[in-house]
Amino acid sequence: MKGVTVLGSTGSIGVSTLDVIARHPDRYRIVALTANRNVDDLYRQCLQFRPDYAVMADEQSADHLQGRLQAEAPTIQVLSGVDGLEHVSQLPEANYVMAAIVGAAGLLPALSAVRAGKRLLLANKEALVVSGQLFMDEAAQHGAEILPIDSEHNAIFQCMPAGYAKGFDGVGVRRILLTASGGPFRQTDMQELARVLPEQACAHPNWSMGRKISVDSATMMNKGLEVIEACWLFHTRPERIKVVLHPQSIIHSMVEYTDGSVLAQMGNPDMRTPIAHALAWPERIESGVSSLDLFEVARLDFEAPDRQRFPCLSLAYQAIEQGGTAPAILNAANEIAVAAFLDRRVGFMAIPKIIETALSTIPAIEPQSLDELLDVDAQTRIMAEQQISTLV
């Protein structure tokens, strides 16, 4: 039986992970669950799965959870903060760690899991976007196994040949075709985008996701971050990754080979598929996802992304081509800009402007340590907030 720590268990990925695990009580045991400040949901999850540990973002939330668990599950140890997250990411009894904390906040616990040599089920794309080379170097040094959870990267992983880490040319791969739904504004009149409300941006046509990632999908920054993540996961350059709009979200991504073959991974848009794949790999297990009905789907459409409509995609390509800390700057500015939009402090089209200003203002360096990366991240957030204050 494999022990599993779920970082971010009350979010959409965490909930889907627990749904898959609940279907296989003979294979998996929950060792630790973590949440931000959602005490109610984590309390219910603790009663259902009886982990050894639960972690909240702050001491107040942890104390609240501990008090509620005292009568019914007093053996669960409740921890708090980054230290608590890092602790449960390294537990000897946890074979697998699901990294599903949104944003750069998920970097340190994911890195802790890597340093402990775990199988890391990586749903937090920002960890690789921010720390890229450092993260991959740590994984290689400690023998950690990184399996992607994003539906696109998991699809690519399923379609890739063995030995791709040695280079695409050596294994006959021409390029990656990274699919994107286009989000809720793929056909919205350009003049209307400036008046978009958070509720509209969060209404994804195909996927059920958290608010931040939903906005990223609406701007296509999510796809830009996935391009950066794919460069690190699959050891390739951005020019060998082509983004393809596919509004049905049935083909999750493709790999094109030098002989002209294109392998595609298909399925219903349900995150339980990549989660089940990564949990059981190289085996296959039941995920709870219904069979794909191609007669009901009826058609599959593809189109090129409109870079004018989605400037965030171009900014992401710019950042990964620039290298160094540029992707970390991109990510930090985006997190601040998206939060401001969700708080109704700036408009939808201000998001790419804030990011572009950060990329053009803050010098990108080659980081020698995690501390340098975190300093750049903090500096970018301060500058982005200052810029937002001038727009309000």
Same domain, 6 and 139: yes
Order of strands, sheet of 173-180, starting from the edge strand that comes earlier in the sequence: 241-245, 173-180, 251-257, 262-266
In a domain, 308, yes or no: no
Query: Over pLDDT 70: what percentage of the chain?
Result: 99
In a domain, 67, yes or no: yes
Give the domain-ending residue among 114, 148, 182: 148
R_g over Cα of the chain:
20
- Answer yes or no: are the C-beta atoms of 190 and 256 closer than 8 Å: no
Q: What are phi and psi of 210, to 5 degrees?
A: -70, 170
In a domain, 305, yes or no: no
Question: Which residues span the domain enclosing 383?
Answer: 323-391
Same domain, 333 and 240: no
How far is it, in rounded angstroms, from Cα 268 to Cα 272? 10
Q: Which of 3-7, 49-53, 105-109, 335-339 has the lowest mean pLDDT?
A: 105-109
Query: Per residue in 126-183, pLDDT tens?
Result: 889 999 999 999 999 999 999 999 999 999 999 999 999 889 999 999 999 999 999 8
Query: Per residue in 24-60, pLDDT tens?
Result: 999 999 999 999 999 999 999 999 999 999 999 999 9
In a domain, 35, yes or no: yes
Which tokens hold the place of 94? Answer: 């946890």
In a domain, 339, yes or no: yes
Phi-psi region of 389 (alpha: psi -120 to 50; beta: other; left: phi over 0): alpha
In a domain, 263, yes or no: yes
Same domain, 199 and 180: yes
Q: Which residue has the tokens 């907030």?
A: 385
Give the domain-ending residue among 88, 119, 148: 148
- Answer yes or no: are the C-beta atoms of 79 and 55 closer than 8 Å: yes
Same domain, 337 and 372: yes
pTM for this prediction: 0.93
Same domain, 126 and 182: no
Order of strands, sheet of 77-80, starting from the edge strand that comes earlier in the sequence: 77-80, 53-56, 28-34, 2-7, 96-99, 119-122, 145-148
Same domain, 141 and 167: no
In a domain, 357, yes or no: yes
Same domain, 99 and 60: yes
Partnered with residue 177 across adjacent β-strands are 242, 254
Same domain, 117 and 196: no
Q: Residue 320 — very low, low, confident or very high, per pLDDT cuts 50/70/90?
A: very high
- Answer yes or no: are the C-beta atoms of 258 and 5 closer than 8 Å: no
Same domain, 126 and 251: no
How far is it, in rounded angstroms, from Cα 90 to Cα 114? 9
Query: Per residue in 238-287, pLDDT tens?
Result: 999 999 999 999 999 999 999 999 999 999 999 999 999 999 999 999 99
Q: How many domains does the chain have?
A: 3
In a domain, 96, yes or no: yes
The reply to whether omega before 238 is within 30° of 0 (cis) is: no
